[in-house]
Amino acid sequence: MARASTAADPSLDRDAEALQDALSELIRVYQFRDRDRICCHDISVTQCYVLESLAREGSLTTNQLAGELYLDKSTVSRVVDALERKGLLRRRRHAEDRRAVLLSCTGKGRQLYERIRLDIHEREKRLLADFDPDVRAAMVELIGRLARAAQERVSTAGGNCCSID
């Protein structure tokens, strides 16, 4: 996909501001909605994101998990400790790198994540039911494209707090 020149499009500033406002509102609503659906299971949204990543990927190291979640390794370690205490995740030695530890969901952790996922899935169905199928498909496509474009511009290495891409 070719990038348009930012100087050639005078509406770019307006569109960028409108996108920022719309995404901020959407993210805020989803974070609170997700928090309210997840907290009744005695885990945080971040803990749920960890379970989701491990359920999807199978096993990850702490560094891989931190990169995937765009979090600092020390934050991930604290979240992992809490999930392990609750019996939702386990650690085991990495077969190829004896210094590394692989993280994975326990059966209990996978079951909990699936219950949360199904609950949120049902809420999404109710939300989307009012939209025409073509509009739904277009929303999914556009949001997916936007997420992938943003993901390409995010560093997972950390230490880039004030850098401009």
Per residue in 135-145, pLDDT (tens digit) is 999 999 999 99
Of the pLDDT bands very low, low, confident and very high (cuts 50, 70, 90), residue 7 is low
Q: Is residue 140 part of a domain?
A: no
Residue 90, beta-bridge partner list: 104
Q: Is residue 30 part of a domain?
A: no
Of the pLDDT bands very low, low, confident and very high (cuts 50, 70, 90), residue 159 is very low
What is the domain count for the chain? Answer: 1
Model-level pTM?
Answer: 0.77
Q: Is residue 127 part of a domain?
A: no
Q: Which domain holds residue 61?
A: 38-121
Stretch 14-40: mean pLDDT? 83
Q: Is residue 77 part of a domain?
A: yes
* The three-state (H, E, C) secondary structure of 56-89, written as one string: HHCEEEHHHHHHHHCCCHHHHHHHHHHHHHCCCE
- Looking up residue 104, the CATH number of its domain turns out to be 1.10.10.10
Q: Is residue 84 part of a domain?
A: yes
